[in-house]
């Protein structure tokens, strides 16, 4: 009897557990980046941590705990067959939207911002879950309706048929048009909820992810021309009328355009970031030798940690970090392109682009190529729940890679 129960248990696990080996190059690159991130976080944070958290290692130790938890969860997720991610898509979507709505009605954790839910022992931003939820949802819908989006399947949406029937066939609604409009509304809904949190950088990232997912879903080119025109008009509006945004966001745009604007206020963090980058030179001042982290760059362990990397490791070290990220993203895209189906392919490549967009936006902000948006550097910036969710996303990529090695 016990033997039968054991066999049944093993058969269930074999159905859930992914077979095949993980992609070793991707895993090695990831561990290298995570390790480098912890080293640089300790170096960048110990002064701020000493004066504001009661000990020089408080921030580092807390991040290390979350990284260990994240690596364990990454392993668990990597062991699950990726088909279960598809099955959980709607659950993740509903939970994500629920949290985005919940944070709007809860008391503000920081005055003027509704980004964080305070759990007592830690805080987390629902926008972190929203990123992967949007990727999963669009991958699911675009795979399910791929022929509809590309226009290779006749119109069979009930709304299209109803309108056609009501007009006796005189008005035919293009199904591809309806589908793309629907996807656009989904993306705007996520972006709108994140924007209501006063999280402009998160809104920008959600919009970029949505556009990339539509592109991977083979949405026709004319739609991207419309998106490009709308994007240019929106950027022009924000440059010439920054006051249409929340006060803090509009002021950051003004400070970005006017390099002499309020050097002790809105320009303080950016100016000191540029001083740090310039001080690093070619080879840097040496690990741990940054001067700007000594309460000049505000909270150097967070969004502006890359400026400390530039100061301590120099141009060579900064380029090395960028190359590591580029290789990680390249390897993830390669895994996605070899995936067995469209869902897993879009899921992996969508996560890869999420990392790439965040890295690009963070470096652009730190180097003053765009306004200060408060976007973090993946695996480097302090943030426990953020790194846990990121590592779980890496587990998804590793799960898909197992299905590839098993097939081969």
**What is the mean predicted confidence (pLDDT) over 38-59?**
91
- Give the pLDDT of residue 176: 67
pLDDT digits (tens, 9 = 90+) for 280-301: 999 999 998 999 998 888 888 9
Q: What distance lies between CA 65 and its chain's CA centroid?
A: 21
Average pLDDT of every residue of the chain: 84
Residue 80: strand, helix, or coil: strand
Cβ atoms 312, 285 nearer than 8 A: yes
Residues, the chain: 408
Tell me the pLDDT band of 13, cut-offs 50, 70 and 90.
Answer: low
**What is the mean predicted confidence (pLDDT) over 191-217?**
88
- Give the pLDDT of residue 164: 43
Higher pLDDT, 386 or 394: 394
- Give the pLDDT of residue 119: 77
The torsion angles phi and psi of 387, rounded to 5 degrees, stand at -70, -30
Higher pLDDT, 406 or 328: 328
- Does residue 311 carry a pLDDT above 90? yes
Cβ atoms 225, 213 nearer than 8 A: no
- Give the pLDDT of residue 169: 43
- Does residue 225 carry a pLDDT above 50? yes
Q: What distance lies between CA 121 and its chain's CA centroid?
A: 24
Question: Element (H or E) spanning 124, and its range?
Answer: strand 123-124
| Structure tokens belonging to residue 62 | 């807390």
Domain ranges across the chain: 22-407
Lowest mean pLDDT among 13-17, 142-146, 282-286: 13-17
| Structure tokens belonging to residue 290 | 């940054």
Residue 118: strand, helix, or coil: strand
What is the percentage of the chain residues whose pLDDT exceeds 90?
47
- Give the pLDDT of residue 167: 44
Q: Tell me which residue has tokens 């066999």.
A: 7
Tell me the pLDDT band of 19, cut-offs 50, 70 and 90.
Answer: confident
The torsion angles phi and psi of 124, rounded to 5 degrees, stand at -150, 155
- Does residue 71 carry a pLDDT above 50? yes
- Give the pLDDT of residue 172: 38
Closest CA to 64 of 358, 391, 376, 394: 391
DSSP 8-state symbol, 108:
P
Cβ atoms 65, 382 nearer than 8 A: no
Tell me how crowded residue 9 is: count the other CB atoms within 10 A of its CB: 10
Distance CA 222, CA 217 (A): 14
**What is the mean predicted confidence (pLDDT) over 110-131?**
80
Higher pLDDT, 31 or 408: 31
**What is the mean predicted confidence (pLDDT) over 88-116?**
86
Q: Tell me which residue has tokens 């929340």.
A: 246
Distance CA 147, CA 91 (A): 25
- Give the pLDDT of residue 153: 52
Q: What is the dihedral of CA 368, 370, 375, 381, to 10 degrees?
A: -20
pLDDT digits (tens, 9 = 90+) for 151-165: 555 444 444 444 444
Distance CA 39, CA 27 (A): 18
Alpha-carbon Rg for the chain, nearest whole angstrom, is 23
**What is the mean predicted confidence (pLDDT) over 330-351?**
93
- Does residue 347 carry a pLDDT above 60? yes
CA angle 385, 390, 394 (to 5 degrees): 145
**What is the mean predicted confidence (pLDDT) over 190-206?**
88
Q: Tell me which residue has tokens 């006017």.
A: 258
Kindly give the residue spans of alpha helices, DSSP state H, lying in 296-340. Answer: 305-337
**What is the mean predicted confidence (pLDDT) over 129-136?**
94
């Amino acid at each position: 009897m016990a033997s039968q129960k054991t066999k049944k248990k093993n058969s269930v696990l074999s159905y859930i557990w992914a077979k095949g080996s993980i992609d070793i190059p991707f895993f090695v690159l990831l561990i290298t980046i995570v390790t480098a991130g912890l080293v640089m976080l300790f170096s960048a944070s110990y002064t701020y941590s000493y004066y504001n958290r009661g000990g020089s290692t408080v921030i580092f130790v807390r991040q290390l705990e979350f990284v260990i938890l994240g690596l364990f969860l990454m392993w668990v997720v990597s062991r699950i067959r990726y088909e279960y991610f598809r099955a959980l898509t709607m659950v993740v979507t509903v939970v994500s939207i629920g949290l985005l709505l919940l944070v709007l009605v809860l008391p503000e954790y920081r005055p003027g911002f509704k980004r964080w839910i305070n759990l007592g022992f830690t805080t987390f931003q629902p926008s972190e879950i929203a990123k992967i939820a949007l990727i999963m949802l669009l991958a699911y819908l675009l795979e399910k309706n791929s022929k509809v989006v590309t226009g290779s399947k006749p119109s069979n949406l009930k709304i299209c048929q109803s309108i056609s029937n009501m007009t006796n066939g005189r008005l035919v609604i293009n199904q591809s048009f309806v589908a793309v409009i629907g996807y656009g509304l989904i993306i705007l809904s996520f972006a709108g909820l994140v924007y209501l949190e006063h999280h402009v950088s998160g809104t920008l990232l959600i919009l970029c992810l949505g556009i990339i997912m539509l592109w991977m879903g083979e949405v026709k080119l004319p739609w991207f021309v419309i998106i490009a025109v709308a994007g240019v008009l929106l950027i022009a509006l924000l440059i010439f009328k920054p006051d249409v945004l929340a006060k803090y966001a509009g002021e950051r745009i003004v400070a970005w355009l006017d390099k002499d604007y309020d050097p002790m206020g809105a320009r303080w963090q950016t100016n000191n970031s540029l001083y740090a980058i310039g001080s690093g030179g070619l080879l840097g001042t040496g690990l741990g030798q940054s001067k700007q982290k000594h309460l000049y760059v505000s909270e150097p362990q967070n969004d502006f940690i890359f400026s400390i990397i530039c100061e301590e490791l120099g141009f060579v070290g900064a380029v090395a970090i960028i190359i590591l990220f580029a290789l990680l993203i390249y390897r993830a895209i390669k895994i996605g392109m070899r995936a067995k189906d469209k869902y897993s392919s879009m899921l992996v490549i969508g996560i890869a682009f999420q990392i790439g967009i965040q890295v690009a936006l963070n470096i652009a902000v730190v180097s003053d190529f765009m306004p200060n948006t408060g976007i973090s550097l993946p695996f480097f910036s302090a943030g426990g729940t953020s790194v846990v969710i990121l590592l779980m996303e890496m587990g998804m990529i590793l799960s898909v890679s197992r299905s590839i090695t098993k097939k081969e």
